[in-house]
Amino acid sequence: QVQLVESGGGLVQPGGSLRLSCAASGSIFSIRAMGWYRQAPGKQRELVATISGGRTNYADSVKGRFTISRDNAKNTVYLQMNSLKPEDTAVYYCNVDYVLAGSYWGQGTQVTVSS
Q: What is the pLDDT of residue 111?
A: 98
Average pLDDT taken over every residue of the chain: 95
Q: Among 31, 2, 19, 17, which residue's Cα sits nearest to residue 109? A: 19
Q: What is the pLDDT of residue 22?
A: 97
Q: How far apart are CA 39 and CA 17, in angstroms?
A: 19
CB of 9 closer than 8 Å to CB of 109? yes
Q: What is the pLDDT of residue 92?
A: 98
Question: Across the chain, which distance is largest between two alpha carbons, in Å?
Answer: 45
What number of CA atoms fall less than 13 Å from residue 1's CA on the CB side?
A: 3
Which residue type does 72 have? Answer: N
Query: Measured between alpha carbons, how far is residue 31 from residues 36, 51, 99 in Å?
Result: 15, 11, 6
> Is pLDDT above 90 for 100?
no
